[in-house]
Structure formats: structure tokens, C-alpha cells
Amino acid sequence: MNVRFGVIGTGAIGREHIKRISQTLAGAEVVAVTDVNQAAAQQAIENFNLDANVYPDDKALIAAKDVDAILVSSWGPAHEESVLAGIEAGKYIFCEKPLATTAEGARRIVDAEMKYGKRLVQVGFMRRYDHGYVKLKEAIDANEIGEPLMIRCAHRNPTVPETYSTDMAITDTLIHEIDVLHWLVDDDYASVQVMYPRKTKHALSHLRDPQIVMIETKGGISITAEIFVNCQYGYDIQCEVIGEEGIVKLPEFSNIVTRKSGKLSQDILMDWKDRFLDAYDAEIQDFIDSIRKNGAPQGPTSWDGYVASVTAAACVKAQESGVTEPIELDERPAFYEEGARKNEVSA
């Protein structure tokens, strides 16, 4: 039987997920949608030729008897309320990041899910499903490079809109590195410091860009993450893990190589959606398959969402203070230990 989705939020990412569920993936269908802009919700149904109902709000959609799972792709500050309502109703939930806009909100979701007594929530950290990151994880877990000592990574965008602010470099951009690096080395974060190199002329006056974020894990791994969101040349994701006996590095995105006019060249992507298209497909398919086969999602957990929220809050504080800030996490509950072990995803 198909997993019947209700989609909360029909903006850009919501429409992308509706398209992949209805046209690309197997074992699921979209039967309900809602959006604060009801016209946009109706338009989504018509655009994708769905046999689905439009609901006036998230609560009505969650209460619908023909909805098995909800996909939360609304405005970030609305996520917490929708996820908590979904847990209370016993519905499976795929929530785009952020799980909540505060660490306290993420913890409320963790506590609600534990009280319910069953894993219901998966957070949309798609990089864990990217083929390159999966290969990095396999190499690290197989001890191919010995114990990891350092990680160097970069998150570069060609440009960002005027609404992009300095703190969004953490909460909207680095948040993916925060999650995937924690997953790669299975080591909690201990502290963070943020530095600002010389500012690029391409950044608007209100934005400090680029930024260097330096994180240390409890096990002593040193992470240096560059965020450069006006780099101009393309969308470029880099990650290198240096171990005691070797180095593993994220592969370049596959593209043709051209020999012409005395030059050897390869195109660089400009759009983040193209870079992680396959990973987006894989994460939703895994969510569907896990529900159908195991009765619970197996991907990134509410606890992972909490870890990301706490870490992001400390990074923003370090942006403002200019000094090293502690990252203080609660101890991971036993409820999520099994999920952590099972969360070895593959693209």
C-alpha cells in the first residue's frame, strides 16, 4: 500500500517534493496539501495533476484520516508547531530543516517523540544520502585513514539575495555541514569560534562574507569550515578528512571535460538543487521504504535536529562575541541510540 502524504507548504522545496513523490519515487502518493497561500496550494494540485484535497491549515491536514505521513516544507518558524501536532496525531513526519528555529524547540520535539514511544520524525539533512558523502563515511568507518584528526570543508555559493544576513551563513548554509560532519565522524561538538577574513566587494553592506568557522569535537578533531556565499564562480561544496594514515576527499561533481582552444575545462554547477538532486530523491525514497518495511523512519532523527540547533546557536553566538564559545549538548537519550546505529544510509 502506498504511503499517503500530506504536504504542508507548497513553496519551492514543497513543490519539488510533490513532483518527486508523484513523478519519480515509488510507493507513495500526495493526497493532501496546505499552504498559508491557499491559491498556491490549489495551483500545486493543478500543476502536478494530483487527486488531492486542499486543507485550510496544517491542523486540518494532519487530522485527515487518509494522511499517513506529513511532509513539512513550510516557513522555518512554523515547523515546530506542525511537527508537534503530527507527533500527537501519531503521523509519520518528514521535516525539512530546521526541525525548529531554537534549540529549546527542537528539544520539545525530542521529548514529545520519546513520550509517544516510537520514532516518527525524519529531518531533511539530504547530504547523508549524497554518494560522495556516503563513500567518505564508509572509508572513515572502515578505518582506511586511521583516526580522523582534521576536517577542512567549504560551502560556496555564487550569490545570495538581499534578504540573506550574516547569521544565515550558519542557520541556512553551514547547517548542512554541521549535521553531515557530526554524522561522518560520530563525535559530538565541544566548542566553536568564528573569524571574518577580508570582506569581498561582492557582499552587500549588511553582510559579512566570507566567514571561517572553527569547531573542535569532544574527541579533539579540528574542523575548519569556510562559508563564502558571494564567490561568483559557482556552487562549490568541498570536504577533506585528514586521518593518521591518509586523507579522503569529497569527489568533484561529475561533468564532462572539454579540450578546446588550448584549454582543458570542466563546467562548475551554479544551482544547489542540481548538486544534490539525487540525494533529495534518495532521502525521500528511504523515508517511504523505511515506513513501509520497518514501520518507522531510519534517517536523520529528531535528536540530530536538536544537535544541529544547539550547534548553530553556539556558532551564531560566536559570530557576535568573536571568542570561542562552548557547545553544550544534553546526553543523547537511549531512545535514539538504535536509530544512530541504523542510520548508515546509502544513495
Cα separation, 131 vs 138, in Å, equals 11
pLDDT score at 282: 97
Same-domain pairing of 160 and 253: yes
Name the amino acid, one letter, at 90: G
CATH (domain of 118):
3.40.50.720
Same-domain pairing of 310 and 194: yes
CATH (domain of 244):
3.30.360.10
Same-domain pairing of 74 and 137: no
User: What's the number of domains the chain is made of?
Assistant: 2
Question: What grid cell was written down for 147?
Answer: 583516526
H helices within the chain, ranges in order?
A: 12-23, 38-47, 58-63, 79-88, 103-116, 131-141, 168, 175-185, 272-275, 277-294, 302-321, 337-342
Same-domain pairing of 94 and 108: yes
Same-domain pairing of 330 and 315: yes
pLDDT score at 341: 46
CB 147 within 8 A of CB 220: no
Give the containing element (helix H, strand E) for 208: none
pLDDT in tens, the chain (347 residues): 899 999 999 999 999 999 999 999 999 999 999 999 999 999 999 999 999 999 999 999 999 999 999 999 999 999 999 999 999 999 999 999 999 999 999 999 999 999 999 999 999 999 999 999 999 999 999 999 999 999 999 999 999 999 999 999 999 999 999 999 999 999 999 999 999 999 999 999 999 999 999 999 999 999 999 999 999 999 999 999 999 999 999 988 878 888 999 999 888 888 877 889 999 999 999 999 999 999 999 999 999 999 999 999 999 999 999 999 999 999 999 999 865 444 444 44
Same-domain pairing of 286 and 207: no
Same-domain pairing of 215 and 153: yes
CA 251 to chain centre: 20
Name the amino acid, one letter, at 347: A
Same-domain pairing of 288 and 309: no
180 lies in some domain: yes
CB 320 within 8 A of CB 194: no
345 lies in some domain: no
32 lies in some domain: yes
Q: Which domain covers residue 214, as residue numbers?
A: 132-274+305-336
Task: Give per-residue pLDDT as tens, 188-211.
Answer: 999 999 999 999 999 999 999 999
202 lies in some domain: yes
Same-domain pairing of 97 and 185: no
Cα separation, 291 vs 217, in Å, equals 33
DSSP state of 242: E
Task: Give per-residue pLDDT as tens, 77-116.
Answer: 999 999 999 999 999 999 999 999 999 999 999 999 999 9
The SS3 assignment for 282 reads: helix
80 lies in some domain: yes
